[in-house]
Amino acid sequence: MALKGLDIYKLLPKTNCKECGVPTCLAFAMKVAAGQAGLDDCPQLGGEARSQLDEASAPPQRLVRIGADPQPIEIGQETVLFRHEEKFHRPPAVALKVSDAQDADALRQAGAAFRALEITRVGQTLQPDMIALVNDSGSADALRAAAAVLHGELAVPMVLIGGAVDPLLLAATGPLAGARPLLFCTGDVPTGCLAALAQQAEAPICVAGDLESVAGRVEELAKEGVREVVISPGGASTARTLDFLTRTRRAALNKKYRPLGCPVLVFADGDDPAAAALDACAYVCKYAGVVVTDLWDGNLLTPVLTARQNIYTDPQKPVQVEPKLHQVGEVTPLSPLLVTTNFSLSYYSVESQVEASRVPCYILAVDTEGTSVLTSWASDKLNPQTIASALKSCGAGERVEHHQVVIPGLVAMLAAGVADESGWEVLVGPKEAVGIPGYLKSHWTATAT
């Protein structure tokens, strides 16, 4: 919110009717300026005053929706340059390129390959988001047919990329009618034609060029009433693409320069797939809204999805699992009981190694407010009292007969204290989760039987 309280107050009805729940219009204006209330909270505000306030208070980067309800992809409307200032809000969409110069069988295989690109990490499913269908054939019929096949195979939003307007329009108003694909015409066409394309297709549009030219196009499109616009540096080098990404974000957020306040589509492709994966990771970290890539190899796509997952978590809220006694596999009263914290990365590192060991286990995730083993030990959130308390509150004593608990090797110094506090026999496990299978195989079986 760039407006000050008094600027807002000037446009309010000034009736002090209290319907917003605040005693006066001035107090309400101050709350809006502080981000503690929204304009919607004043039922008396409408007409020109509302339009003026909406325009003046619009976020510096606009929101663009690609795809149709119920699950459109939303990109943009980011509020900070650096993640530690607040958080990044909308992860970039990863769009895998498909050429329309393929027959229907090949397109169906691409659909199946897309569905198979799914990984699970710290309890979350990671996968690409979109198909970027490229009009390599130059034929409107081929693009329309390919769009129909892929739309039937995959319920994911699409980017349509082509050098001419007509094929994009025919596909967007034909098989993709209502699906709101992002339309990216790479040819040198007048802005008026792009505006007409966006309006007829009722879909967002992407314009490419250098900073000056895309800013001009965005302003012209705004005059035509087209606001859902994505900008792109096109197929620029890695350095130029990063320059484009950082300059546009700075211009929008620091200078409040609205023509560059649009999410950015970039390309991470080329002859060297490893280099493309590195580019994609860099673009994810530095502000991309859509990354179009041909990384169909899961081994190369995984780091991109992982980087995105890491960057778009809230740095002030550690990702947590429920603090409780978890069961992995067909546990029995003789199964090992391992202690870790409720930090997701810690918990899932342990869980994945337990699964790898094929030894059913209980895992006690102690509530450390989502911090890791060493961090929670250093801040005294993981100590003999919290471990003993967690053992008691989860009813572990009724679930396992052996009354042995394995604590992480990194906090071996807690062993005696946990034994005193809980009355359990305390075993010291490996320092790293990767040592769990070997530990369970050799040590646990020796002590539990």
CA angle 137, 138, 140 (to 5 degrees): 105
CB of 23 to ligand SF4, least distance (A): 8
| Closer by beta carbon to ligand SF4, 16 or else 99 | 16
| Closer by beta carbon to ligand SF4, 4 or else 256 | 4
Residues that bind ligand SF4 (CB under 6 A): 12-13, 15-20, 22, 25, 28, 42, 44-45
- 249, 234, 257: which is closest to 89 by C-alpha? 249
Distances (CA, A) of 361 to 327, 337, 351: 6, 6, 9
CB of 18 to ligand SF4, least distance (A): 5
| Closer by beta carbon to ligand SF4, 39 or else 285 | 39
Task: List own/partner pairs for 237-246 with CB under 8 A and 24 or more apart.
Answer: 238/279, 238/282, 241/266, 241/267, 241/279, 241/283, 242/282, 242/283, 242/286, 244/210, 244/211, 245/283, 245/286, 245/287, 245/288, 246/286, 246/287
CB of 241 to ligand SF4, least distance (A): 45
CB of 324 to ligand SF4, least distance (A): 45
Q: 235 Cβ partners below 8 Å, 6+ apart?
A: 267
- 298, 290, 287, 293: which is closest to 275 by C-alpha? 293
Burial tier of 190 (Cβ tally within 10 Å: 0-12, 13-18, 19+): exposed
Q: 239 Cβ partners below 8 Å, 6+ apart?
A: none
| Closer by beta carbon to ligand SF4, 43 or else 333 | 43
CB of 2 to ligand SF4, least distance (A): 19
CB of 19 to ligand SF4, least distance (A): 4
| Closer by beta carbon to ligand SF4, 20 or else 427 | 20
| Closer by beta carbon to ligand SF4, 13 or else 298 | 13
